[in-house]
Structure 1
Amino acid sequence: MSEAKRLRHPAEGGYARGEETRLRIIGAAIEVFGERGFEAASTRDIAARAGVNAPALQYYFANKEGVYRACAEHIACAVSTHFEPVLQRARATLASAGDDTPALIDAFIAIQEAIADRIFLSPATSSQRLFFVREQAGQEPPGASDILEQRMRGPLNRVGLALIARIGGTATDDPITAIRLMSLHGQMMPFHVAPRAALTLLGWPQFDADKRLLIRTTVQANARALLEMWSAERLEPAVITKGKSSAPSKATKRPRTRS
């Protein structure tokens, strides 16, 4: 389908009302797709949830897959807007900091701070979380994954990989670099995708300001400790254990070619 057809808007004075209707349809579609999945969702159900007639969906999006792609674009736009400032600062640090490990670590911690802000201050609805879960499980059309990867996950991961590679002396395409990135960001995932389970484990009724601060500081301290350890492994020719020099572990003996 053409971009013009998929993102069609009324002209002139009707634009504002048309955009409001389009966004209302997208909001309803995220709910329905999250609750039922792409195959089980129907354009009739989405239209009813949005309070519009069924032909309105075809007018704005052409078909159900067009609606689905628009949902992914809407989510990607909101998330990328949130992260772009901190990513720009991290890119500037990468360009100017050289091997200044503290500056590189601070840039990575700032990204984690932005992730925490996104989770706690601009939380996704339960339907949006389900939308992500279904998309990541590979149950939905691949078009959404392409959009989310290009506009949201890709930029965040590329900067994160570059920082960790520089800090730890690995290549950006080394699997160890990717595993390290996933392990660091994974600390925040329970609070994003399973907040009820996290609250139950912690014995908390909710994430109030003090508890959010405790989570942030704990996660950031963990990340900083690991990043400093990986930096030390890069800088030290051997691991010093009980006053004696011994060969590094098998994991740290891998070639560390910076990309």
Structure 2
Amino acid sequence: MNDIKRLRRPSAGGYTRGDETRLRIIEAAIELFGEQGFDGASTRDIAACAGVKAPALRYYFENKKGLYRVCAEHLAEDAWANFKPIAGHAAEVLRNNGDTPALIDAFIRIQEAIADRMFIKGCGSSNQRLFFAREQAGHEPGIASEILTRRLRQPLNEVGAKLISRITGLAVDDPVTLIRMLSLHGQLLVLHVSPRSALTLLGWKEIDAAKSELLKSTVREQTRMLLQMWSEERDAASSKQAELQTRPRVSHT
């Protein structure tokens, strides 16, 4: 039996209010799960933060574990709404056998969508960042990682690895392909998971639109240079292989 109950519809005329209450509880839960962790955040405190009575949590989510699961689903759904068009564009470039510049541009579009998600569209908030950080540390219930991986990270990683595979000529599951993808995305990730250290080093108090554009343009240039270099290595290896295949064999008879 599912460990959470789906949204219960209030009586006629009350559906909108019920939806708003449910969302308010989810947002409060993300905040407290981020600040205090799953074990530290009590349902009583979450209810108080959401401005509802404790029984409302049981009504909508059955228990704290069910609420935590819905928080992860909410974050994954909200993020994928932004990434789906970009991932779809990358998949189309791959289907159409796009040339190297198109493949590179498709990868950079994914990277910049991640940057926008972190710094511009409000999902770089400390509450959500702490929720993700705790989930990634492995100290929280594993259901959040399962949901976020299946619905968000896996689709992005799959298309990203395919792009790098085409650009470099390596297999999509080659460890070097995957390490390269992780390292390219890692240029931005450090600013998301360790913002205090990064901001201190840069001498910034926050990342506003202008600073976000500076970060994006710098990372864009670095990423393009690396991808172009790897594509040139692919072409050089391909040319060498073709030369070896066409070189006449010397007879020793």
Per the alignment, residue 9 of structure 2 pairs with: 9
- 2:62 is matched with 62
SS in structure 2 at match of 1:207? coil
2:206 counterpart residue number: 206
Which moved further from structure 2: 175-184 or 203-212? 203-212
The residue aligned with 2:129 is 129
Contact 1:6 1:66 in 2 (8 A): no
3-state SS in 2 of match to 1:6: coil
Report the counterpart of residue 113 of structure 1 in structure 2: 112
How far, CA to CA, are the matches of 1:74 and 1:136 in structure 2? 17
Q: Write the mapping of 1:207-222 to structure 2, written as runs, cut at 5 A.
A: 207-222=207-222
Q: Could you tell me how far apart the structure 1 residues matched to 2:209 and 2:75 are?
A: 26
Structure 1 residues 8-157: aligned runs within 5 Å? 8-98=8-98, 100-123=99-122, 124-157=124-157
> How far apart, in 2, do the equivalents of 1:13 and 1:3 lie?
28
Asked whether the equivalents of residues 97 and 103 of structure 1 are also in contact (C-alpha less than 8 Å), the reply is no
Q: Using structure 2 for the length normalisation, give the TM-score.
A: 0.89
TM-score (normalised: structure 1): 0.87
Distance 1:107 1:238, change over 3 A: closer
RMSD of aligned residue pairs (Cα, Å) = 1.9
Counterpart contact for 1:30–1:131, Cα < 8 Å: yes
Q: Is the partner of 2:9 in helix, strand or coil?
A: coil
- Which residue does 2:243 correspond to in 1? none
Q: CA deviation at 1:204?
A: 2.7
Residue 209 of structure 1: CA displacement? 3.4
CA shift at 1:51, angstroms?
Answer: 1.1
Q: Name the count of aligned residue pairs.
A: 239
Give distance in 1, aligned partners of 2:54 and 2:167: 53
Q: Which structure 2 segments of 5+ residues have no match? A: 241-253
Do the aligned residues in 2 keep the contact of 1:47 with 1:54 (CA within 8 Å)? yes
Give the stretch that moved more between structures: 203-212 or 225-234: 203-212
Give the aligned residue type for 1:147. I
The 1-side partners of 2:56 and 2:87 are apart by: 38
SS at 1:237 equivalent = helix
Alpha-carbon deviation of 1:190? 2.4
Residue in structure 1 matched with residue 158 of structure 2 by the alignment: 158
Query: Percent of aligned pairs with the same residue?
Result: 61
The answer to which of 210-219 and 58-67 deviates more is 210-219
